[in-house]
Structures are given as structure tokens and as C-alpha cells.
Structure 1
Amino acid sequence: MAVTDKGEGALPNPIDLPLSRKYLIFGVLAFGQFMALLDIQIVAASLNDVQAGLSAGPDEISWVQTAYLMAELVMIPFSAFLAQAMSTRWLFAASAGLFTVSSIACGMAWNIESMIAFRALQGFVGGAMVPSVFAVGFTIFEGKQRALIPAILGMVSVLAPTMGPTVGGVITNTIGWRWIFFINVVPGLAVTILTILLVRVDRADVRMFGRIDWSHLVAMAVALAGLQYVLEEGPRKDWFSDPQIILAAWLSFVGLCLFIERSLFSINPIVRISPFRNRTFGFACLFNLVIGFGIYASTYLVPVFLGRVRGYNSLEIGTTVFVVGAGQLVSTMIAAWASNNVDRRIVIAIGLLGFSFSLWLTSHLGSNWGFDQLLVPQLMRGLFVMLCIVPSVSMALSAFEGPELRSASGLFNLMRNLGGAIGIATVNTWLGDATRTQMLRFGEAMAASGQGAREAMAAMTARFAAITPDPDLANRLAQSTMVRIVARESLTIGFDEVFRIMAWMFLAALVIVPFCRALPGPAPVNPADVH
């Protein structure tokens, strides 16, 4: 049965499109998704430059990343509703076009407040591109071609945020930090135009806009935004000792309760949670939450280590962390083959073990570690994370079709980004606590050693005395140097402890694997049934 898209004529069944046209459509949408995910972490290696350029404070600059992620979290589950109301074609085109405009606004930001506002807008409009590609890929392909979708989109989902610091670092070092946003203009326009010209896979139902459950939408936004605020500000404000954190947490909880009630009982819910009735989908989402934690937290921690401990600039950070992406590229096809020829539970188990081992290797960080020492752990992390991602995508989405496929895609992608938000906030807390604890231990050890500590200070003072004739200045220089060394080593050990905890967390996730089961994929989707 043919369908129409806003009266523009009959549309063929997407399954019947020429294979070359399918690949072209999928390639355009996947590239749009790549842009949206890349921009989550593209500022990671350039935050110092952005902070200096906007005269921002250290507590404000982190919101350049947080505002984007917070807004994207709200849009990802909402996009399933919008795709039904607008059609995938016009939703994706609007998303890419507005993403381009907001990128220009970010590049022209004049202070930190305007940057945060524009980044929130960029994340919100760009978030619609993330889950739409999954739904379209599983709709237009079948057979062997469909089997490649989890591998391709799994690679995009992981490679984009991993490459973000590298791309941002290179651009910032060569042409300036504002170009990490301006670089989106040409590809963003291309995606917008090509989407309008090529993508006709479903029809719009504009009547849905008249039936929006606004209370459901507001509840979802309050729940997710409140949670993100708690996660971002909690480590700095000592969590629930701060009244603003308590208020945000309470609003988030109330919003969550209303969101669940509306999802279950609303006549026209914004987000359908019915996919969670599928046990395998639920476990796949749990895996995606854990994987998102590991991917985003490790992608965040390594640049922070290189900047704060090693003093690397944005280019040096970018060129050090790019090897994770190289490992992901190599393992993509291996993961695709394995997830379609081997029990997916075995593939995920191997991926979790390998990812855990890579984090354990990283937990032996030294304050002198650089590219050479981080090469093997980062390559392993890139290689094994794809063995987690690809089979989990297949497990999550293969059993759905039509509108429920869109809902499942939105929820599945939400879990990954939510895991990332929780991960970054959690490792920040762990890192701060571990560093403070280690500094206290160093202080106790130096006090206990007594004579040894005094001899070390005397030797350091003597070296500075050879440079300056002022004995008081030499003593002060020796003391400040000792403080910096203790702080650096305490921070390094703090990183080690955080990576060690993460390694154990991924190892513990193996407990879930036996409870999963792979389901056969659905019959090809008839677009006439997509409303």
C-alpha cells in the first residue's frame, strides 16, 4: 500500500527502494547523527580555551557540555512522537537545519551565559537526529543489510563522542575554539538539503500536534533536566547538603512519577514505555546504561588527566586519545560478524571482560604517562567496547516494528546518554574524594617519616638556594614545589582508583548476561502501518 507525505504523491514501500538509494538515505541520516553525537564531547579538550575566550569561571565552564547533554536527553525520547507527527523527513531536516543555526550562534557567543543558552538549544534540536537513524535503518533494510545496521550505528554512537576531544583539540589549536562550532555549518546544510530531497520513508500525522499531552512533556523535561542538574552540581555542592540540589532532586522525582503515570494512562503519551515489557529490551537498555557510563566517563577522564596532571594543550590531548577511535573502527566488522554468528550473550560477555581489563590497565596511571603508556589500554577499550554495543543494539531493536520501533529507539538511546551523564558526575565525585583522601595519607606519611621529610625539603631548598641568594625565597619555592608534587601524585592516584572502580563495575555487569535472550527479528515493515 502506498502512503502520502503531506500530499506530495504516493510513496513506495521503503523495503522496495533500490539498494543504492537505501544506502544513500541511511548515509545521510547516519552522518547527521554523527554530527549531533560528536558535539557532545567536541569541547572536552578545548574547555580552557573557551573559558579564557568568554572570561568564564571554572564552575561555569562545565555547563558548556552539561547544557548540551541535558537538552539532548529531553529531545531523544520526544523525537519518536515528533517523527510520527512530522514524518522522519521533515523532523530530521528541521533538526539538522536548526542544529546548523544554533552552531553558528554558539560560535558567535559573547559571554558564558549566551554560550550555555545556545549549547542547550543545539543539544535539543540535534537530539532528534540520534534515535531517528536507528528506526529508519531497521525499517528500510532487511536480511543481511539489516544485520549491518547495529554495527554501523553502534560504531557511530561510540566513535563520535570518542573522537570529539580529538577533533576539537585539532581545530582549536589550528584555527581557534570558535571553529569547533562553525565547522558544523557546511555539513549541516548538506544534511538538511539531502534529507528533504531523499528521505521519504513514512508519512506525517499532523493531527497528533493537537493531542499533545503537555503535562507528560513537561514532566519528562523536569525529570531529566532536574536529574542532570543534580548530577552536574552535586559533586561541587556536596550533594544533598545544598538546598538547591535537594529542590532539584525533589522536582526530578516528582517529574519522574508523573512521567510514568502519563506514559501508562495518557491517551496520547509523548513517550511510550511499552517496549520495556520485552525482557530482552530491558536488559539491552541496562547494558546501554552501563556502556554509556563507561564510554562517556572514560572519554571524560583521560583528557582531564592529560590536562591537569601532564599539562597538555588541546592538540596534545586530542592526538593522544584518538587511538580509541582507531580501535573502534578495527573492531566494528568483527563485532558485526560475531553478533550475527555467535550467541550475543557470549559476545557481550567477551566485550565486558575486555573493556574491564582495559580500564584495569588504565588504573596503573603514573604522573608521567603520555601517548606511549596509554596506547595499549586505549586501543583495547576501543576494540572491546564494540563487542558490547553491536549485539546490544540488535537485542534491543530487532523485535520491534512501526511506531513501537521509534519508541524503543528513543528509549534505548536515552539510556546511553543517561548513563554518560551519571558516569561523568559519579567519577567527578569519586575523583575528588579519592584525591582528598590520598593527600591526607601523604600528609600523615610525611609527618610519620619525620627526618626523611625534613631531609627532602632541605635538599630541595638547597637546589633553589643555588638559584636565588634569598634563603626565605628558596624555602618558599621548595615548599610550593613540594605541595605541587603531593597534589599531582594524589590526583594521579585518585585517577587510578576511579578507573579501578569502573573496571570492577564492568566485571560485575557480567551477572546480567545469562538472563538475556536473543529474539528473532520482525517481518519487514509496511510504511502504511507507520502513523
Structure 2
Amino acid sequence: MTTAAEGAPIAVDPAQADRIDPRKLGVFAMMTLGMFMAILDIQIVAASLPQIQAGLAASADQISWIQTSYLIAEVMMIPISGYLSRALSTRIMFTASAAGFTLSSFACGLSPNMETLIVLRAVQGFIGGAMIPLVFSTSITAFPRSRAAQLSAGMGLIVTMAPTIGPTLGGAISEHLSWHWLFFVNVIPGALIAAVVWIYADFDKPKFELLRKFDATGFVMLAVSLGLTQFILEEGPGDDWFDSRTISTMAIIAIVAGAAFFLRMRGRENPLVDFSVFKNSNFTAGSMVAFSTGVALFGLVYLLPLYLARIRGLNSLQIGETLLVTGAAMFLAAPAAAMLSRRYDPRAVSAAGLILLGFSTREFALVTSQWGYWELFWPQVGRGAGLMLTMAPLNVIALGTLESAKVPNASGLYNLSRNLGGAFGLATINTILNDRTVYHTRMLADNFDISRAVVSERIASFTAYFSSMGLPDPNTAALRALSNIARREAAVLAYSDVFQLLTLACLMTAPLLIIATPPKAGAQPGGH
């Protein structure tokens, strides 16, 4: 018996279409924890490099390679993670990444010398590099698109929170345990994450035939280009950039390898990296903003601890306690960011976040050598809220209008943009910080006139103090103390200059969102 309704489209309950499978959400939460672990690992190790250097009797040149080797290897994996996840499935790829990261972390903690640790850090960075882009792509493909803003807010919280609490955790581990535990701390959560994802994840199906089509030659080109680029950005500030023949040669090789890789990918049936996603204006805008946001995010994460350590003389724990304000602000702003991103145009929300981030960074430009917790409090609140308002809708803007099949590849490129932005930002910041410190030192020295009353009074005060301390040459000690103050103030002025440049970067980035279109409302099914 037939009815009038037979053959008609089946009505879908909007509430049902908007529903998130609790099992999928639980697995996704574990994947997100893995992403947090990977980002946090970089920060806690960076905060404890002196302890590792002392423990392994390493030189200053060697110790920097603990981070450099990790970052170079990670940047090689990120763009190909989409191809590998389509070949192996999200379940297999993420499990392999989490398990490999965990095992290499354990091996790092057992390293008998610096050479072994550097190699193992490269292994850890390469294998673990897939976790972050896989989480981003899963948030879009495995859940209704209407829920993307909420999931994005959670991911944005983790991406920005991990660098904030990293110095605190790293300092605590180094102080109360040993440097080995900087790596051992990953073992139990890493094993749990890998087990849960392996047993319960079911987001997509593998396409093993893609493994046979893996472009090894193209990967070598990509690895050379990105690896050398990361190396140049890490080492360039200390080697006077292109005044160094090594840096200049590497830059040429990186450009040639990158151009060759791009040309090789054009027209291929299954390219290792599909650059056609840049035809989507939202993805292009989102990637450009991600690059600039990486400059601001990693730049501030780098500058504030540096200021507190070098100018204020705080230890890792004290620095972490001061910077927790940013983490608390992000945590409190996350629900509002998710709600605003879902209710209003994500472009407007992200632009508002960039403007708030810019003006809060402008407050940092007023810094003096006496700033402490309370002077940094409100600028940090603005920074945390601004970052959250920027990051939560940005993921939706960049990835939310792409076909599900294109999202894994796009996620790799999107995360690569943010990482390269951070690397470029840190390299630029270090260069400007050094140059402006020298400039301000010279300017202060030019105005150092012993005949001025204020200068002579300060020298007399220092001389009297050092004389009371019984020093054999109190006058020389007084001049040296005054010189140290001048160098400190020159450094503070240089920090102020960099904060002003970061302010401009944030404010100039917001208009880039104009080229994007607002993602369509409504739930859209995920899947590959």
C-alpha cells in the first residue's frame, strides 16, 4: 500500500541534525588532550633548558638544538598529515602519532647524552606533529558544522593555554624532580590517549591505496624547503641573517625546493599537499590571519617571560604564576567566544578579538622596569580574551566552508601557517629586540653627562653606598652600577618598541577578514 508521502524527502529534525554523538565527543576530547600534550611539551622543555644543559654537560650551541630539531621535524609532518590521515584513517594515524610521541618522549628521558636527545627530539616532533592538524580537521568533518564554533573555542583554549602554563609546569618539574621528568610526564597520558583512540575512534575509513601513491620525491622537496626555512628562522637572528653565507645558501635551496614542490603538485591526481584549497577565499583569509595571530600568540608568549626573567629577575615558577592571568582570562572568555561565534558573523567576532588583542598589547608598550603582577594584570586579561575571541571563530572561517574531503589537507596547511607565523614572529622579534637595545643603549650613553646634577647625584649616592660596603674602589663600582641601570632601561625601551610593532600587526590583520564570506548557518554532516 502506498501513501501520498511515499517518495517524498524525509524530514530531518533540526535538533537531531544538531546532535553530537557522546561517544564521538569523548574520543575527540581525548584527541584534544593529545594536542594539548604536544603543544605543552614544547613549552615545558623550553622553560627548563638550563637544567637539561647542566644535566648532560652540553654547550650553549648544543642546547638550542633540543628545540630546533623538534620544530624542524614537526613542520615537515604537519602539511602531509592530511594525506596520511586519508590513507590510514584518522583512527590509525592519530593512534600512531600519539603512541610514537609517547615512546619517543620516554626515550628522550633516558637519553645518555646530548646527541641522542637531539635525534630523539626530532623523532618526537615528526611523529607527534600530526596530532594538532588531525584534531582541527576532525572537529569539522566528524561533527555538525553548526557545532564547529563551540568545538573551536575549546581547541583555541588549548592552543593558547598550553604555552601559558608551560613555564609554570616546566619550572615546577625541574625544581622538584629532574629534567628527565619533562619527558616522562607524557608517558601515562600519552599511552591512555593512544589506547582510547585506537579502541573507540570511528570517524572515517582508510584508503590504503593512497600509500602506494605516496610521492616520496615530493616529500623530500617539501621537507628540505620547510626544514631549511624553520632552521633559517631559528638561527638567523644569531647569525646576522643574510650576512652569513650559510643562511644565504640555505635560503636559496629552500626557495628552489619549495618552488619545485609547488610545481610538482600541480595537476597531480592525489597530491601530497593540495594547494587548490587556497581558491577558497575563506581559507585564504583564515590562513593569513592565522599567520599573523601566530606572530602575536608566540611573540607575547616569548616576550613576557623574557621580560620577567631578565628585567624583573623572576624564576620560572614566579613567571608562571604571573602569566596564569592570561590563561584564566582565556578560560572565562571561551564560552562567550563560542556563543558569539555561533550567534553573530564569525568575521566580526574574530576582528573584534584582533582589535582587543591589539589594544591590550598596546598597554604592554607602556612597560617600565618596575612592572609586576598588577601592572601586567589588565593587559593580560585583554590579551587572553582577545586571543580567544580571535581563535574560536577563525577555525570556523578557515575550514567551515570547505568540502569535508578537503578539510584534512586544509587543516595541515592552516596549522602550518600559524606555526610559520610564530617562527617568523620570533625571528623578527629577536632581531628587533637586539637592534633596538643597541640603539637605545647608544642613545642613553650619548646623554650620559657627568656634569648633569641628576647624574652626579646618583653617582655620589652609589659611591657612598659602595664605600659603606667596604669595596676598594667605590667610584668604579658606582659607574658600573649606573651603566647596568642604563642597559636595563635600554632593554625595557626595546621591549616597548616590539610591543608597539605587535600592536600594529594585530590591528592591520583585522581587515584581511573582509575577503572572507560568512559561513552558512545550519548543521552540515561531517564525514569523508
TM-score under structure 2 length normalisation: 0.92
Distance 1:321 1:110 in 2: 34
The letter for the 1-side match of 2:298 is Y
Alignment partner, residue 518 of structure 1: 518
Distance 1:172 1:521 in 2: 48
Range moving further from structure 2, 38-47 or 407-416:
38-47
Alignment partner, residue 6 of structure 1: none
Q: Give, in angstroms, the shift of residue 449 of structure 1.
A: 5.3
Distance 2:57 2:309 in 1: 19
- CA deviations 1:68-116 (Å, max 9, x no partner) are 2222111111111111111111111111111011111222233333332
Give percent identity, aligned residues only: 38
Q: Aligned in 2, Cα 1:496/1:167: closer, same or farther, shift over 3 Å? A: same
Is the CA contact (8 Å cut-off) linking 1:213 and 1:268 kept in structure 2? no
Q: Give, in angstroms, the shift of residue 524 of structure 1.
A: 4.4
Is the CA contact (8 Å cut-off) linking 1:398 and 1:522 kept in structure 2? no
Distance 2:522 2:86 in 1: 20
- CA deviations 1:147-181 (Å, max 9, x no partner) are 42222222222222232222212222222332121
Distance 2:31 2:428 in 1: 32
Alignment partner, residue 401 of structure 2: 399
The letter for the 1-side match of 2:125 is G
Range moving further from structure 2, 493-502 or 456-465:
456-465
Q: Aligned in 2, Cα 1:237/1:75: closer, same or farther, shift over 3 Å? A: same
Residues 1:162 and 2:179 aligned together = no
**81, 84, 108: which one aligns with 1:82:** 84
The letter for the 2-side match of 1:19 is D
Range moving further from structure 2, 336-345 or 283-292:
336-345
Alignment partner, residue 501 of structure 2: 501
Q: Give, in angstroms, the shift of residue 285 of structure 1.
A: 0.6
Alignment partner, residue 7 of structure 2: none
Distance 1:311 1:443 in 2: 24
- CA deviations 1:303-327 (Å, max 9, x no partner) are 1111111221111111111211111
Q: Give, in angstroms, the shift of residue 495 of structure 1.
A: 0.9
The letter for the 1-side match of 2:475 is N
Is the CA contact (8 Å cut-off) linking 2:299 and 2:426 kept in structure 1? yes
Alignment partner, residue 134 of structure 1: 136
SS of the residue 1:423 aligns to = helix
Is the CA contact (8 Å cut-off) linking 2:20 and 2:144 kept in structure 1? no
Q: Give, in angstroms, the shift of residue 526 of structure 1.
A: 6.8
Alignment partner, residue 9 of structure 1: none
Distance 1:272 1:144 in 2: 26
Range moving further from structure 2, 92-101 or 315-324:
315-324
Distance 1:370 1:257 in 2: 48
Alignment partner, residue 350 of structure 1: 352
Residues 1:194 and 2:196 aligned together = yes
Q: Aligned in 2, Cα 1:442/1:362: closer, same or farther, shift over 3 Å? A: same
SS of the residue 1:204 aligns to = coil
Distance 2:526 2:45 in 1: 41
Alignment partner, residue 360 of structure 1: 362
Alignment partner, residue 116 of structure 1: 118
RMSD: 2.1
Alignment partner, residue 491 of structure 2: 491
Distance 1:357 1:194 in 2: 42
- CA deviations 1:10-37 (Å, max 9, x no partner) are xxxxx99972211111111111111111
Alignment partner, residue 290 of structure 1: 292
Q: Aligned in 2, Cα 1:212/1:144: closer, same or farther, shift over 3 Å? A: closer
Range moving further from structure 2, 498-507 or 398-407:
398-407
Distance 2:114 2:483 in 1: 32
Is the CA contact (8 Å cut-off) linking 2:101 and 2:127 kept in structure 1? yes
Alignment partner, residue 422 of structure 2: 420
Q: Give, in angstroms, the shift of residue 525 of structure 1.
A: 4.8
Distance 2:140 2:494 in 1: 43
Residues 1:257 and 2:232 aligned together = no
**160, 184, 193: which one aligns with 2:186:** 184
Is the CA contact (8 Å cut-off) linking 2:354 and 2:506 kept in structure 1? yes
Distance 1:459 1:404 in 2: 69
TM-score under structure 1 length normalisation: 0.92
Q: Give, in angstroms, the shift of residue 143 of structure 1.
A: 5.6
Alignment partner, residue 207 of structure 1: 209
Q: Give, in angstroms, the shift of residue 448 of structure 1.
A: 7.7
Distance 1:79 1:370 in 2: 42
Distance 1:448 1:265 in 2: 71
Q: Which runs of 5+ in 2 are unaligned?
A: 1-16
Is the CA contact (8 Å cut-off) linking 2:296 and 2:502 kept in structure 1? yes
**366, 375, 378: which one aligns with 1:376:** 378
Q: Aligned in 2, Cα 1:56/1:438: closer, same or farther, shift over 3 Å? A: farther
Within 5 Å, which residues of 2 pair with 1:423-462?
A: 423-447=425-449, 452-462=454-464
Q: Which runs of 5+ in 1 are unaligned?
A: 1-14
Q: Give, in angstroms, the shift of residue 456 of structure 1.
A: 3.0
Alignment partner, residue 237 of structure 2: 235
Distance 2:64 2:338 in 1: 36
Q: Give, in angstroms, the shift of residue 293 of structure 1.
A: 0.8
Alignment partner, residue 10 of structure 1: none
Distance 2:215 2:451 in 1: 67
